Amino acid sequence: MQRVYDFLRRHPTWVDGFWAVILFGMSVVGVTGTGPPRGNAAASLGCAALLSVVVTLRRRMPERMLVLAVVTGLAQLVLDAETNPSNFAMLVIVYTCAADGARWSSRLALGAGLCAAPLAQLRWPEEHGSPLGQMAVAVFTMVPFALAWVLGDSLRTRRAYLAQLEERANRLEREREAQSKVAVAAERARIARELHDVVAHNVSVMVVQADGAAYVLDQAPDQAKKALETISGTGRQALAEMRRLLGVLRTGEHEEGGEYVPQPDVDQIEDLVEQVRTAGLPVDFKVEGTPRPLPSGVELTAYRIVQEALTNTRKHGGPNAGASVRLVYFDDGLGLLVEDDGKGAPHELYEDGGADGRGHGLIGMRERIGMVGGTLDAGPRPGGGFRISALLPLKPAH
């Protein structure tokens, strides 16, 4: 049964054609019945045939079928082809144009339908009816045409409303997909910044210590041993931070007893400076103002900026470079100033972002500071060296 129903839905013209044949048969019986002929029988059969065509093709070409129905109705009036069952096609085409036709055809269908009943009553009045009764009959026969138009127009409105809801749902779905892509891109950028900061800093320390150990291995074994211990400790710290990042990626998965480390904060900047000093870079560290708890995002951003700035000093400052780190607690923010007296980074690294994977540290700084609504100034110092200045507000960015 379901297959039959699906077939009929796919071929609506066949369904309309079936009902058109039924309607034409009823009209033939009505016109050529046992009673005396009323009006022009041949014209009635011709009009019935045309109205059957209207019913058959009403969904494929509603506007044209409306015009054909109007012309057929006028021909009935002129040729004295009295109404018969095929005139039910008038109601059908009024409904179809109101539901599916162009707006002009909907208005024409309403006007033609409301005029059809009075014209038919005037053309073929009741023999023994009073004028008032004939007027009442005309008004009464106008009601079905009005109802047919109202039903069709209501269906049109409902379809438009459903189409609007579907379009809105599709738009929301597209917006959700776009937001998801933006969120994924932001998360990738965050993870890339974390990986860069962890790998670049710790590997840089390990490389410096390894070079130093190799240089003094024969002359000063104790210093080489100490450098190797630093390499080992730095490697463990890098491994722990990498595991922390992997733990963040595994949403909802927590390994008991894991070596995840807490997220770096401002209090750990002093340990970071000490680690850099151990690696051979002289660093002057000072804190101004009254230290106090800060938002976690600001704490992590401050730590990563200092970490990246000192890493850049080791990379680009030269063998005799020194650095200074200043943390200033303001009432409404945290100020950072990292300077060195080395030869400074190449111009393209802090202006254009570099190439071949270089210069991503300063790009990451700008992204981190932008996320908390802060400002960054990075560039060469007038007297030589490099300078990084940042202001991190305590209120979150909007």
pLDDT tens digits, 294-335: 888 888 889 888 988 888 888 777 778 889 999 999 988 899
Instruction: Please report which confidence band the pLDDT of residue 181 belongs to, taking 50, 70 and 90 as the band edges.
Output: confident
What CATH number matches the domain at 266-398, 3.40.140.10, 3.40.720.10, 3.10.20.30, 3.30.565.10?
3.30.565.10
pLDDT tens digits for range 249-276: 555 444 444 444 557 888 889 988 988 8
Rounded average pLDDT over 65-79: 92
Residue 362 pLDDT greater than 70, yes or no: yes
The pLDDT tens digits of the residues spanning 273-293 come to 988 888 778 999 999 988 888
For the entire predicted model, the pTM comes to 0.50
The structural domains of the chain, with segments of one domain joined by +, span 2-124, 266-398
Residue 328 to residue 44: CA distance in whole angstroms: 101
Per-residue pLDDT tens over the stretch 120-149: 888 887 776 677 877 888 888 889 999 999
Query: What is the average pLDDT score of the chain?
Result: 80
> Cα dist. 119→67, 74, 138, 178, 221 in Å?
17, 10, 8, 60, 119
Which tokens is 372 given?
């908390």
Question: When comparing pLDDT for 64 and 198, which is higher?
Answer: 64
Count the neighbouring beta carbons within 10 Å of the beta carbon of residue 170.
Answer: 10
pLDDT digits 0-9 by tens, 365-394: 888 888 888 899 988 888 788 899 999 988
Percent over 70 (pLDDT), the chain: 80
